[in-house]
Structure 1
Amino acid sequence: MSGHSKWHNIQAKKGKTDAKRGKIFTKLGKEIIVAAKNGGPSPDTNARLRDAIAKAKAENMPNDTIAKAIKKASGELSSVNYENIVYEGYGPSGVAVIVDTLTDNKNRSAGNVRSAFTKGGGNMGTAGCVGFMFQEKGEIIILKEDKDEDEIMMIALDAGAEDFSSDEEEVFVVTTTPEDFGQVREALEAAGIEFLEASVKMIPDTYTEIGQDDAKKFQKMLDLLEDDDDVQDVYHNAEFPEGWYE
């Protein structure tokens, strides 16, 4: 995202995340359950599970909560079966939106997602209507603070990162392919570097600027989607105006 806006989006998201920690842990737990069910309960042999655990730890999810989710997937505790369904559509100003869900009731999910689009001044589209505007990438966000930029950059690039950016005022951004995300994350972890955020996500090729009024409408849509227990992640290409979150 150009200029200041990417970091402002992260700041706003983190603020909301901190206020809804329990809900975030529930979503992360579902992600761990699905990863463990599909690839086995050992993170040593299950790369998707390793990445899900890393994402959870970046959100300060307790180790016992992570272990409980893996036990659920292993059948040691009761568990439901979740289906991954991706919805696509448009927000105000033609913003492209991808909604990633894990659900045990796709009719409920579809209705809730459609309602959020409508209430936020957008409309849900057909599969593939905006997906071509995004690329799947690994992204690791690191607070600059007093960290050595050259050291972090070299560790990341040597481990296979595609790009290292220090353009943002307060964070470094490491970008990887989905396949190399795990090894880059592990190399940085081994060096004792903590992450503000670490996950494989959909990153837009271009961004759409929106004004203050549409920013408020779109934030309403995002709030509704992020409050939905079935919604795991929401990706979009909106570039919010400076100060929209204040």
Structure 2
Amino acid sequence: MTTFLGELIGTGVLMLFGTGVNANVSLKGTYGNNAGWLTIAFGWGLAVFVAVFVSGPISGAHINPAVTIGLATAGKFPWADVPMYLAAQMIGAFIGSGLAFILYRNHFKLTEDPGVRLGVFSTGPAIPRTFDNFLSELIGTFALIFAIFFLVEGDGLGSVSAFPVGFLVFAIGMSLGGTTGYAINPARDLSPRIFHQLFVGKNSNWQYAWIPVFGPIAGAIIAAGLYILLGSPDNSLINP
């Protein structure tokens, strides 16, 4: 139960800060309105930093189904624990994005554009092309998971990993995030989209919703496969 709560809290913190920076930059009347992509990417990087620092010692701070599935595929995490982690991540992401909505509720009232309101919660493509959008999420998540393998000791991330992982997410946002908004985390996109559908808007763009779920999962599995192919961290191919 402690591990479940740790993962739930970590993912909730991630989404409170992450959805919060989206709202601050996108919604009308905020002090951060129109602050730009750099602010969003930096805000998400810091969101990951705080979430990993808080929950790392408790649950290993996966805070992302793609991380959990990638670690399990590489043999670094037991498959039997995967459903519990996924449930905690989905619930935590829902709660965190809900708290951000409560915080910015008056600014949501000022913002009439339904696309902007949805964009606070979920990602969407700059150019809608199914294959390219899927590939973008796959590559972004591949970069995330493959790098994480070299930061992991045991079955998750500890607080010592908070800064490098946060910086990694910031780098992905700046370099690879311009095509789809870099979900690279199924819980980060799906749970807030559900919250949006229930409490904020009527059209949550469900025809796109599968891409930021299955693209990251595919990227995580491919990253795990390459990691296995190279060998374990003790293998001379990785640590000569």
Q: Could you say which TM-score interval applies, normalised by the shorter chain?
A: under 0.3
TM-score (norm 2): 0.28
Higher helix share: 2
Please give the TM-score of this superposition, normalised by the length of structure 1: 0.27
Determine which structure has greater relative contact order: mean sequence separation of CA pairs < 8 Å that are 6+ residues apart, divided by chain length.
2
Task: Give the structure with the higher percent strand.
Answer: 1
**Which structure has the larger Rg?**
1
